[in-house]
Structure formats: C-alpha cells, structure tokens
Structure 1
C-alpha cells in the first residue's frame, strides 16, 4: 500500500516542483482556502495555542495571526515540494545567510558544530548552508512512516549535499566522523513537545510551563560540540534569511539545562517578532497541566 500511495502521489509532486514560483504560490493560495476554510485543519489546536501564548492579545488580533499562519504553512509545504525541482542557484537567491563568521571561527579551530533551530519560518531549505561552510552537513530527523517517501526525502536533501540521519544514528555518525577526521555540522529541530514519560526538564515557554527536549544538549555535552542557534527570518514570500548566534563553545562547562533555556529564549524572540511564522498546528502545550510541582528534581524554575 505504501508503494501504491507513493506511485500515485509522485507524478503530481514532480509536476508541482517544476512550476514557476508565481504558479506555485497560486496553488498555495488554493490549498490555504481548502485547509483553512473547508477542512479547517487543526483550527481548534491553533486557536488554543495562540490563546496560551498570547493571552494579552484580543480575539481579533489572534485571528489575524492564525490566518496568516495558515497562508505561511501552505507556502512551506509547497516550497518543500519545490525542493525536487529547484536549482542550487535559485535556492541561494531565496535563502541567504548572515553572521557566517560564527561558524567559520569554530571551523578554523577544527571543531564540528551543532546547529539548533525551531520549526519557524523555513526549516526545509536550511540545507542551502552547505556551500558556505567547510563541514559536511547532516540533518537529524524522524523517519517518515512511508518508507518510499522517506527515501525520497533523503535523496532530495542529498543532492544539495546534506545527509539525513535519524536520531538513533546521530551518536554513531558523530563518532564516525570524528574518528575519520571529518569536519561536520549537525542540524536539529528541538522545539517540539517530548514524550511525557521521557520528560526530564520543565520550563516556561511563551509563559507556559512545559517539558523540554534536552537530548540535543546532552549530546553536545557528551560529544563536545559547540552549539549555535540558527535564526530564520521571512523577508517576503519565498525569501528567507538565516543568521547564527553562538550559545556555547564549550557545552561541557555549562550547567545542565542552561543551553536548552538559552535556545528557547531565542525561539520566543522570533515568535514575538512575527508569530505567524511559528508552527502552531503542533500540540506544543498539551502537557502543561501535567507539570510536576516547582522545586522537584529535574524541573525548571
């Protein structure tokens, strides 16, 4: 069944990926109408998330954010499909980078790097970074349920120089790269909600106390990987700019959870600057009422 779904969907996706951008965004507008007006995809989740994150805003203000978010969400999906057909030259026109010296200074010291980012603006095109740094790019991801689409995702990213690795493969890949003397950078998205059973640390996110992913911090401490935050801004439709901020050059010397806290402070800044570009359909605050009492071991203040 997975193969049949893939074979049926692939020709359509291939055709969409060859559309010029004006037609691509016209199709995105149609998808927006379908998801937002007809299907009402996760409208309740988005509305609840925005109420939790922005209690000070009026209902009308939150509805504007909600609508603009769905427009952006559809754009991101279409841009993901466009990755199949976009050229490297076109991609680099649309996804620019600033403050690259943050990465270059660490690479000059022979250090591989961990790049942390949220689901904000465009994370799909972040692999455009590859030509601007010395290290080989590895994107840490959760495998897709459909193995044929999973292979497609790996193949598409690989053509731009980035190798996708699963969370289970990450430690082994970092160790292998180090043993072979290979300079690398690893990208992880860590703003989503962890499994409640695995939650070790709770802290405020947009004013609401929730469990935090700490696996990336643990990995950086274990592997001695400098940690950089990648901030992405949407300049206009189809154009983005990413910049970099060093969170810690020597993570092993930083008290536990401070790197995680620093990451989420940066995420909050981006959200407050332009909230419509955050991934509001995810149930990020679903465990908020299950937080342990303040002061318990392994919880944030």
Structure 2
C-alpha cells in the first residue's frame, strides 16, 4: 500500500517541480482555496494557537494572519516539490545568506557548530547552506513512516550535499564525527513540543509556559560546539534571506537551558514581527497545562 500511494503521488510532485515559478504560484493560489475554504485543513488548531498567543488581537486581525499563513503554507509545500528539479543557481538566487562571513568566522574557531532554527519562513530551502560552508553539513529530521516518501525527502533535502540524519541517528553520527576529528555543522528544528518527562525543560514561548526540546543545547555543551541561530526571513513570494546569529562560541560556558531560551527569544522576535510565516498547524502549546509530578 505504501508503494501504491507513492507511485500515485510522485508523478504529481515531479510535474509540479517542473513548473516555472509564475505558474507554480498560480497552482498554489488554487491549493489555498481548496485547503483553506473547502477542506479547512487544521483550521481549528491554527485558530486556537493564534488566539492563545495573541490574546489582544481582534477577530479580524486573527483572520487576516490565518489567511496569510495558509497562503504561505501552500507556497512552501509547492516550493518543497520544486526543490526536486531546481538548479543550484536558481536556489542561491532565491535563498540568500546575508552574512556568510559569520559562518567562516565560526569555522575559524575550529569547533563544530550546532545550528538551531524554527519552523519559520522556509526551513526547507535552508539546505542551500552547504554551498556557503566548508564543514560537513547535517540536518536532523523525523523519519517518515512511508519508507518510499522517506527516501524521497532524504533525496530532496540532500540535493546540495547536506546529509539528513534521523533523530535516532543524531547522537551516534555526531559522536562518530568527533572521534574521527571531522568538523561539522548540524541543523536542528527545535521549536516543536516534546514528549513530557520528569526532566523536561519548561520555558516561556510566546507568553505561554511550555516544555521544550533541549537536545541541540545538550550536545553543544557536552561536546563544546559553537551554537548559532538561523534567522530566516521571507522577503517576498519565493525569495528568502537567512542571517547567522551566533548564540555561543563556547557553549559549555553557559548555564543549562540558557541557550535554548536564547533560541526561543530569537524566534519569538520573528513571529511577533510577521506571524503569518510561522507553522501554526502544529500543536505547539498542547502541553501548556500539563505537568508531571
């Protein structure tokens, strides 16, 4: 069944990837009408999230953000498909690093780098980062249940020589590189909701106290890696810019969870500035009223 679903969907994705961008976004406009107005995909989740973190906004303001978000969501989904056939030149034109010299400076410290970012703007196109760095690039992702789509995602996100590693492979892969003396930069999407446990870190995100992922920080502190935040900004439809913001050159010199909190504050700034580009379909605040004794 997994393969049947794959062979049905794959030709559609490939055809989408071959569309010129002008036509791609025309398709995206149609997808928005279907997803938002007809299907109402996770509209209740999105609405509840927006009302929770923006209690002072009017119903009209919430609706405006919600509609803009769904338009962006459709764009990003089709942009991910476009990555299947996009050229390196086109990708670099549409996703630019504004301060590549900061990557070079961090590399000059002769330490591997942990790069933390959130589900904001276009995290999918951040795979182009490998073109700006000398260190071997890794991106941590959650393995898909459908092995055929999992391979497709790996192929797409590895297009520019970034290596994908599943969450279960992360620690062993990083430790192996340390043992081999290989300098790396490893990207973590760290803003979603973890499973509750007694040792989970609780922090305030968008004014709400929630449990947080701390794996990236723990690895950086344990192995004395540098830590940075990737600030991705949407300039206009189909164009993004990213800035590398160094959080710590010596991560083990910071208190526990301090780097995680710094990351969340940087992400908050972006969300408050342009909330429509955050990934509101996730149930990020689902554990806000839950604690373990």
Same fold (TM over 0.5): yes
TM bin (shorter chain): over 0.9
Per the TM alignment, residue 291 of structure 1 is displaced from its structure 2 partner at its CA by: 4.1
Once structures 1 and 2 are overlaid, which stretch shifts more, 109-118 or 232-241? 109-118
1:203 is aligned to: 203
Quote the residue 1:185 is aligned against. 185
1:197 CA displacement: 3.1
Partner SS state of residue 122, structure 1? coil
Question: Is the Cα–Cα contact under 8 Å of residues 110 and 183 in structure 1 kept in the other structure?
Answer: yes
Deviation larger for 192-201 or 47-56: 192-201
C-alpha deviation, 1:283, in angstroms:
0.6
C-alpha distance in structure 1 between counterparts of 2:280 and 2:37, whole Å: 17
Is there any run of 5+ residues in structure 2 with no aligned partner, and where? none
* Residue deviations 1:151-186 (CA, integer Å, cap 9, x gap): 111122223111100111112211222233322110
Counterpart for residue 299 of structure 1 = none
Q: Is 2:263 aligned against 1:263?
A: yes
Aligned to 1:130: 130
Secondary structure of the residue aligned to 2:197 is helix
Corresponding position of 1:40: 40
Q: Quick check: 1:222 aligned with 2:222?
A: yes
CA RMSD in angstroms comes to 1.3
Q: Deviations for 1:55-91, whole angstroms, at most 9, x for unmatched residues? A: 1111101110000000000001000000101000000
2:99 counterpart of 1:121: no
User: How does the TM-score come out when normalised to structure 1?
Assistant: 0.94
Per-residue displacement from partner, 1:127-166 (whole Å, max 9, x unpaired)?
A: 1111111111100000011100111111222231111001
Distance in 1, matches of 2:257 and 2:180, equals 30
Matches within 5 A, 1:77-226: 77-197=77-197, 200-226=200-226
> Is the contact made by 1:231 and 1:243 (CA closer than 8 Å) also made in structure 2?
yes
Q: Which residue of 1 aligns with 2:50?
A: 50
* Length, aligned pairs only: 293
How many angstroms apart in 2 are the aligned matches of 1:157 and 1:70? 23
TM, length-normalised to structure 2: 0.97
In the alignment, structure 1 segments of 5+ residues that lack a partner are 297-301
4+ residue runs of structure 1 moved beyond 6 angstroms?
A: none
| Change beyond 3 A, Cα 1:235–1:110 | same
Cα 1:148/1:255, change in 2 over 3 Å: same
- The 3-state SS of whatever aligns with 1:179 is helix
